[in-house]
Structure 1
Amino acid sequence: MQKSIINPWKWQDQLGYAQGVEVSHATHTLYCAGQAAMNAEGQPVDADMAGQISLSLDNLETVLHRANYALEHVVRLNYYTTSIEQFFAAYGQVIARLTAAGCVPASTLTEVSALAFPELLVEIEATAVK
């Protein structure tokens, strides 16, 4: 599999994502459901935005690993949050984690009025290829 990052501009680089990711010669694709701050029993974890982002990424990596993928295989991340302001205040940890994994996905960030449980502040949806 080969990935090519498509960035006609430079401004998105500091935000840790790509305008486009072209994949050629991929043999498998994994579409992940939105991952949120849920414990192993399926209960929401009441934490601040940073804590919820961290647990959501942990849960995403658990799904990826179960399917024999890694964060580096992710080509698209969609973020749903109840507060873009709070999300960006904690976004540094997202960039650090993606950078450490060599992950530069195409991404969308959307503010929503609510997620599946009132305690949830963020949900992260991914597509991975290999």
Structure 2
Amino acid sequence: MTTTTSPAVTRRINPTTWNAPFRFDHAQLRPAPSRILSIAGQASVDADGNVLHEGDMSAQISLAMHNIEEILESAGMTLADVHMLTVYTTDVPATLAAYSALTERLEAADATPPAALVGVTALALPGLAVEIAAQAGR
């Protein structure tokens, strides 16, 4: 079991290592944040709510993560402040095949938030294949 502590006093808890390529920790024990940001599911939509990149899982993941990063920035936070990601998808195998669109952003921020990948039958708008919700705190 590996447990590490960052300068921010976050204790990373990983009883196994298979999760490392997916850029998530099994658990993190953090000090109580003074601010908590709850981010509703973000998807591959433009400013008017129109679905973009239908049929392109990698592009949908990338735009959803971009939208999350914009919200984080507006709150004075980064991906390093995310303490939970939930990825909802209509196609788990395709999401896993395109998962580097998510892990590259997490790696650039040196972030390994606990995460869940959840298969669903449909999302809010026709053409969406992935939606990502997040919790952050600082």
What is the 5 A alignment of 1:1-130? 1-47=8-54, 48-130=56-138
Query: 1:73 is matched by which residue type in structure 2?
Result: D
Query: 2:91 is matched by which residue type in structure 1?
Result: S
Find the residue that maps to 1:123 and give its secondary structure: strand
Instruction: Give the structure-2-normalised TM-score.
Output: 0.89
CA root-mean-square deviation? 1.1
CA contact (8 A) 1:12 1:18 kept: yes
Query: 2:9 is matched by which residue type in structure 1?
Result: Q
Alignment gaps of 5+ in structure 1: none
Higher percent of residues as helix? 1
Find the residue that maps to 1:2 and give its secondary structure: coil
Query: 1:85 is matched by which residue type in structure 2?
Result: P
Instruction: Give the structure-1-normalised TM-score.
Output: 0.95
Residue 45 (structure 1) shift = 1.2
CA distance in 2, matches of 1:86, 1:65: 29
Residue 26 (structure 1) shift = 1.9
Query: 1:75 is matched by which residue type in structure 2?
Result: H
CA distance in 2, matches of 1:2, 1:56: 29
Residue 20 (structure 1) shift = 0.4
Alignment gaps of 5+ in structure 2: 1-7
Relative to structure 2, which stretch is displaced further, 59-68 or 41-50? 41-50
Aligned-pair identity in percent equals 36
Instruction: List structure 1 segments (4+ residues) > 3 angstroms apart after TM superposition.
Output: none
Relative to structure 2, which stretch is displaced further, 114-123 or 89-98? 89-98
Residue 25 (structure 1) shift = 4.2
